[in-house]
Amino acid sequence: MLKPLRVLMVEDSEDDAVLLLRTLKRSGYEPAAHRVQSADEMALALADGTWDIIFCDYHMPGFSGLDAIALLKMMALDIPLIVVSGAIGEETALDCIHRGASDYIMKGNLARLGLAVERTLEKKDMRDRHRKAEAQREDALEALRQSENKYRTILESIKEGYYESDLKGNITFFNNALCEIWGYPEEELMGLNNQTYTDVPTAKKLYQAHNRVYRTGEPGRMFDYEIIQKDKTRRHVQSSFALLKDTDGKAMGFRGLVRDITELKQMDKARQESLERLHKSLGATINAVAGMVESRDPYTAGHQRRVADLADAMAREMRLEESRIEGLRMAGMIHDLGKIAIPSEILTKPTKLTQVEYQIVQTHAQSGYDILKDIDFPWPIARMVLEHHERIDGSGYPNHRRDGDILMESKILAIADVLEAMASHRPYRPSLGIAPALDEIAKNKGILYDDDVADVCLKLFAEKRFSFTT
């Protein structure tokens, strides 16, 4: 298959041009040629076209091979130019090559044209590859310079401390922020070992953390520890670090980022103390509300607390999260809050309630919810209060919710409420005792009461791990 070749011919003889093209075809090329005869024509052709090679006659009226070479240089184009002439001396030919020609061919010896073209194109390809490699190297060097400048700028602009250390923990490089965090001047921080600015237990932890990174190659992230500044002030810092490797990938040290979290620690401590005070205050408020409810119904005094105790024990047996247990306990303490809206004579009636009275009592779940719904508790207490009389088959009240629509905490509260109510004295009946209450739960588990919650409740009493206190 003939190789395509884009040829610019600077030649005043059409016959000589045709002869060159034939010779190229016989040498395995498929030339696409354009012939020019003057400097202006050559300049226009160079500007408008892309050429693989130029064949140039040495002697032409008003334009010579040396002129063509000079024009090519002036336009800063790297296109191979072969001088093809009928009669030039060896000295002239060498002068042409010295000035920039790739080769010269005598028109009477075109047999070597193909070889000359092949060699010239190979040299051009080598130059192109060399230029590309040089350009890539320059680009890489420039990118590296920019990266180093950017790296240096970033390190000095960030608030976090940056450091590099050798494998023994001696600091070998750092930014200004690290000086501020560590409280050491630059000249003293250089070469400082981590044992200098930490106590013995912390130094041991730091060694273990860095040793783990060294052994596994995995970065160490978010390691909190305490440092001792030069003036003996203690600060809390948080660090992430990784292996520092040489160009061969061999570990040569560590590098990491450090930020001062002393103020965050102080804020967190203050917030935790505030939360504890809030919880105590909330607990006291809940107890006060519970006492207010039970003051209107002396026969059920302690009922809400005992329900809360049982619900707490059941939730712990079920391994609920501590925060959910806390919310459940508080809901248990006030689950009958809505009874403050029910007339005292109904609550304390010594005989069985009428249907209308019972319906009034049933409103306490909704009333309790309405009182609590706009309070921003950290738990769904209002919903637990609303649902503590719901049953998984939909037979409960006030909304006849079924299994999947009832909170787990509400299911626990429902069983605790039933059990305590049956086991306790009521105005219209004496206590039924624990055994009948447990029978009620066992008989209706999976029907009225959640299977798993019921099993937990029955297990607690069977193993005598819970009992109501007065």
The residues spanned by each domain of the chain are 3-131, 159-260, 288-462
Superfamily of domain 288-462: Hypothetical protein af1432 (1.10.3210.10)
The whole-number average pLDDT for the span 39-47 is 92
Whether pLDDT at 178 is above 70 = yes
Mean pLDDT of all residues in the chain? 87
Whether pLDDT at 191 is above 70 = yes
Strand 53-57 to 81-85 pairing: parallel
Superfamily of domain 159-260: PAS domain (3.30.450.20)
Between 281 and 224, name the one with better pLDDT: 224
Tens of pLDDT, residues 375-388: 888 899 999 999 99
Helix, strand, coil % over all residues of the chain, rounded to 5 = 55, 20, 25
Interatomic CA distance for residues 9 and 31, integer angstroms: 11
Tens of pLDDT, residues 208-224: 888 888 888 888 777 88
Q: Give the Å distances, CA to CA, from 196 to 109, 189, 253, 346, 457.
A: 85, 10, 18, 76, 58
Interatomic CA distance for residues 244 and 217, integer angstroms: 10
Q: Give the Å distances, CA to CA, from 413 to 229, 422, 454.
A: 54, 14, 11
Q: Could you tell me which residues come within 8 angstroms of residue 215 by beta carbon, excluding any fewer than 6 positions away?
A: none
Tens of pLDDT, residues 302-348: 888 899 999 999 999 999 999 999 999 999 988 988 888 888 888 87
| CATH code for the structural domain at 3-131 | 3.40.50.2300
Q: What six digits make up the tokens of 239?
A: 């660090």
